Amino acid sequence: MNFEMTTEQLAMQKMARDYAEKEIVPIAAEYDEKEEMPVDLIRKMVAEGFSSVSVPEEYGGAGMDEVTVCLVTEELGRGCAGIATGIGANSLAMLPIQLAGTEEQKKKYLPDLCNGKLASFCLTEPNAGSDVSSISTTASKDGSDYIINGTKCFITNGTYADYYVVFAIVDPKRGARTLTPFIVEKGAKGLDASRKEKKMGIRASNTAVVVFDNVRVPGENILGNPGGGFRVAMETFDISRPMIASLAVGLSRAAYEAAVKYARERIQFGKPIIQQQAIQFMLADMAMEIEAARSLVLSTAGKIGKGVKNLSAYSAMAKGYAGDMAMRVTVDALQVLGGYGYTREYPLEKYMRDAKIMQIYEGTSQIQRLVIANNIINGRI
């Protein structure tokens, strides 16, 4: 395993860090407060390549590896976990196209999605969250077309997406074994994504309910083989979970850095609180956990695309560990600021609210443990 970053990786990391500092940090609190996604900035960032770092150059991406994706995502997550989620959701929705799309589909959709168009990954339903096999959205064959009916919920970028990657079952009798991903374009008759969720955190991201009411799509919009959807979804998560884990690392770093700065400046009992061992130990734990999570994330990202059989287990470890770590670190970082941490004058309360989603989306912390445990039981790790 090589832990040395290449010159290109370090350059991308610095570029993302500078960009986040200049464009994201100054507006993060405002959009969190307004509960609004900065659509123009997200589109601009997509067009500038932030969601297509690992998309092959022939389709408009930067053609870099998943380690670079994670380095970039950490910097965006440090800027604002909500805004980084909007960017990450675009990358997430592009994965099924890259994994299962035909050459024609890749050429049709990926360049657009590298160039400022937005996409949503629509898997979750009101009665099918962790349990993907309970999906009830259907796609019934009608001539060479399919008619999609169902409701997807908690869909990131849902309101603003130009393309929706939607998972539906093509044979209700055979259920999830016939799960199939389709591309649905914005403006399709019967598609409604107007209802936004009101959230605790990552409020600068858009989360919507997406309803499909007799939405007609041509058969050529199927990604991969009919019935191959479950596998496509799971392979997508193997790649996207380390990315989300790196977002959690970035968010934790922001909280840690704010706590260190405050601890140096805040005087109580005649000296900076950083001189109190209780504060030092909290900061030391934060530094240790962030570093551990980053190492796990980057070593997992390094396995992607190498044909590693137990990748699912490592991706789940990275996501599960980094998500839980972000919660612990942001709670302690807020504690270092005492009452000020609890006010909206400082960003710590936002970091703590944002951290909670890291244990929920892309598979909850419990589901990550299930994936790891299944790999243990099957002797893969």
Nearer to ligand FAD, 283 or 370 (CB): 370
Answer for which of 6, 225, 366, 378 binds ligand FAD (CB under 6 A) is 366
Q: What six digits make up the tokens of 65?
A: 């590896």
**Which parts of 302-347 fold into alpha helices (H)?**
311-336, 338-342
Residue 123 CB, nearest approach to ligand FAD (Å): 3
Q: Give catalytic status of residue 362 as yes or no.
A: yes
102 near ligand FAD, judged by CB under 6 A: no
CB contact burial 78-104 (16+ within 10 A = b; e otherwise): bbbbbbbbbbbbbbbbbbbbbbbbeee
Q: What is the dihedral of CA 115, 99, 380, 376, to 10 degrees?
A: 60
Answer for which of 124, 151, 300, 375 binds ligand FAD (CB under 6 A) is 124
Answer for which of 80, 83, 123, 334 binds ligand FAD (CB under 6 A) is 123
Residue 153 CB, nearest approach to ligand FAD (Å): 7
Answer for which of 31, 50, 109, 154 binds ligand FAD (CB under 6 A) is 154
Which one of 17-25, 68-76, 103-111, 360-368 is the stretch in contact with ligand FAD (CB under 6 A)?
A: 360-368
Which amino acid makes up residue 149? N
Residue 200 CB, nearest approach to ligand FAD (Å): 9
374 near ligand FAD, judged by CB under 6 A: no
d(CA 347, CA 343): 8
Q: Which long-range contacts (CB under 8 A, 24 or more apart) does 366-369 make?
A: 366/130, 367/130, 367/316, 368/241, 368/316, 368/317, 368/319, 368/320, 368/323, 369/316, 369/320
122 near ligand FAD, judged by CB under 6 A: yes
90 near ligand FAD, judged by CB under 6 A: no
d(CA 51, CA 74): 13
Residue 2 CB, nearest approach to ligand FAD (Å): 33
d(CA 151, CA 147): 13
DSSP state of 175: G
219: burial class by Cβ within 10 Å (0-12, 13-18, 19+)? middle
d(CA 161, CA 119): 5
Report 191-220 residues binding ligand FAD (CB under 6 A). 199, 202, 207
228 near ligand FAD, judged by CB under 6 A: no
89 near ligand FAD, judged by CB under 6 A: yes
Which one of 13-21, 66-74, 118-126, 143-151 is the stretch in contact with ligand FAD (CB under 6 A)?
A: 118-126
176 near ligand FAD, judged by CB under 6 A: no
Residue 279 CB, nearest approach to ligand FAD (Å): 32
Element (H, E) at 208: strand 207-218
Positions in the binding site for ligand FAD (CB under 6 A):
89, 121-124, 129-130, 154-156, 199, 202, 207, 357, 360-364, 366-367, 370
Residues carrying an active site annotation: 362
